[in-house]
Amino acid sequence: MERKPIEMIRKILKVICAVCFCWFLLPLSHFILNIGNITGMAVFAAFYFCIDRYEQMKKWLKEKWAFVLGKILITVCVLFLTGIFVTAGVLSVKMLSSFNTAQEYNGETVIVLGCEVRKNTPSRMLTERLRAAYAFLTDHSDAKCVLSGGQGSNENISEAEAMYVWLTENGIDAERLYLEDRSTSTKENLAFSQEVIDKNGLNPDVVIITSGFHEYRAGLIADTLGMNHKGYGSHTAWWLMPTFAVREMYGILYQYVTQ
């Protein structure tokens, strides 16, 4: 009788792991595979295995704990895993706290950060950023906007051009839009956009429009470039959020190390 609650908890945890694994698996239905969903699937598959083999794992750990080297290795592993999960938690809080769509506008120049283009068409993620840009530019009819993004090897046009076409087709005046079509990274997005802003005498203070989960890292990079900036985040589909949020954590850690 005493084992029933434990077995029930194990079953619940296994279901949670299976659901989370499938959540990270979902993007594959749209041919999206990156370090974010690979990490997520690997973590929850490992959790499921450990829960499913609980008795064997418990026995194995007890045997190894009997030796000094075993104690050391187990302690190191526990500390390492704890560090990973604490870091993930801290970064999650930072990303969530940076998400903002209610910034006061004071005449800043808008920068829209590019994302993947499928041949000539903005990807789902880029379309969400464009919807946010459209809403902002519609609400602030005097705002000027830099569309930033180069052309990848699998793209027929630059991300900047794809954004330009989408916004003008949806009624945004072309004279308000400036293209930056050389960048291949967020840092280049912002650095090259600065050049466009300086060249055209635009307000150097900026509002950066990007995916909500990406606002924090974009802000870190803008800080290194000495930009006075605000963020304006776009929506991300629920089934994509975990994958891209985890991938973003790697990007933030890289930014910490290299800045």
Name which CATH class applies to 109-258. Answer: alpha beta
* pLDDT, tens digit (0-9, with 9 covering 90-100), for 184-205: 999 999 999 999 999 999 999 9
CA–CA distance, 38 with 31 (Å, rounded to integer): 13
Report the mean per-residue pLDDT for the chain. Answer: 94
Q: What are the strands of the beta sheet with 229-234, ordered from one edge?
A: 177-180, 145-148, 109-113, 206-211, 229-234
Q: Where are the domains of the chain?
A: 3-66, 109-258
- pTM of the prediction? 0.92
Of 167, 116, 119, 121, give the one whose Cα is nearest residue 143.
167
Q: What is the DSSP string of 48-69?
A: HHHHHTHHHHHHHHHHHHTSHH
* pLDDT, tens digit (0-9, with 9 covering 90-100), for 98-122: 987 766 899 999 999 999 999 899 9
pLDDT exceeding 90 applies to what percent of the chain?
A: 90
